[in-house]
Amino acid sequence: MNVSVVIRTKDEADRLRLTLASLARQSMPAEVVVVDDGSTDHTQAVLKEAAATLPIVPVRHVAARGRSAASNAGARAASGELLIFLDGDTLAHPEMVAQHAAAHRSGPDRVGRGGRFHLRGTRFLADPERGTPRPGEEARLARMTPAERARLLVTRAQIAEDFDAIAARAEPGLYPGAGPRQLEELELDALRHHPELEVLWSASCGANFAMARAAFMATGGFDEIIDNNEHRELALRLLRAGAKMVPVESARSYHMTHRTGWRDPLLDPAWERRFFALHPCLAVKLLSVFWASLAANSRIPREAQIRSLPDLDRASRGGNGVDYDAVRRMALLPDLTEIAA
């Protein structure tokens, strides 16, 4: 089976170097398509260096076109039967490609969600390999002992010689904190134990996300107007077309966290308005209520709270008898009623 890993990246050259080093150490080789979406840093130099040891297909956008457009450009350039989407600041476990390929062989209609972890200490570093601090973090790193600073580092030597040591200091979830970890656990629990849910598309992920290239192309790829939760909108279309969302927890990835670039979906109404315009169903309307409930939004009444994917599924079928338009207004979430009209 031919596999293509599609990486979307912009101005993260030092993290990208490490991501590519992790892909060079895969037990199952894969084509690596890197879409440079308008970077102004030394990304091109990193790609040239990595091409000596890795089969890279470069795609360059002179001006940034956005995450979804970059993903689609990478998929068009890919030749693999299976696509794995990854971010340019994310390490791949040495077995990540092989595990996704095995899951795909057992069911080619499957959409695989890998196991996601994060490296907390990298959020202080501009370059996780050299240990240079991000602007504003100089004093914090100066207070650390040499041993403490060393534990923050991610180096190409570690990736090549002792990846288990990197994995041992990782934590579950895409970002640090109880909220991201809880959401990760709830999504994986639903995928493991509730395969009958109609809302499993909401458990998809933006990175470490695998699917057949033929299915991706047949559904039209990512909606290029959406650059936040674009993976969930695509997953909804894939599942409606007959695909099955499954956990592939042994296909692990490790996000090198950072303090910038976080896109809070509860503070960005644009993605939700587009998503609901495309799919005007109650489940889409309730997605933000679910996340706001987990964030302990005190404006949501107890009887209207949604705290798991089975809860989301029941509520989306109208089983709760709650006026969720009113709940959204109380929780200060975007008004979607005019879109439905």
| pLDDT tens profile 232-265 | 999 999 999 999 999 999 999 999 998 765 667 8
**How confident is residue 190, by pLDDT bands cut at 50, 70 and 90?**
very high
Question: Which residue type sits at 167?
Answer: A
| pLDDT tens profile 192-208 | 999 999 999 999 999 99
Q: Which CA distances in Å does 130 have to 134, 203, 278, 335?
A: 12, 35, 45, 47
Q: Residue 341 pLDDT more than 50?
A: no
Residue 310 pLDDT = 97
Judge contact between 256 and 18, C-beta under 8 A. yes
Residue 111 pLDDT = 97
Residue 338 pLDDT = 64
Which residues are paired to 92 by β-bridges? 253
Q: Residue 60 pLDDT more than 90?
A: yes
**Per-residue pLDDT averaged across 22-48, rounded?**
97
| pLDDT tens profile 278-289 | 999 999 999 999
**Per-residue pLDDT averaged across 98-105, rounded?**
97
User: CA-CA distance, 293 to 315, in Å (whole number)?
Assistant: 13
Q: For the domain 3-120+171-256, what is the CATH code? A: 3.90.550.10
Structure tokens at 188: 């994986």
Q: What mean pLDDT, rounded, does the chain reach?
A: 94
User: CA-CA distance, 326 to 335, in Å (whole number)?
Assistant: 9
Q: Where are the domains of the chain?
A: 3-120+171-256, 265-340
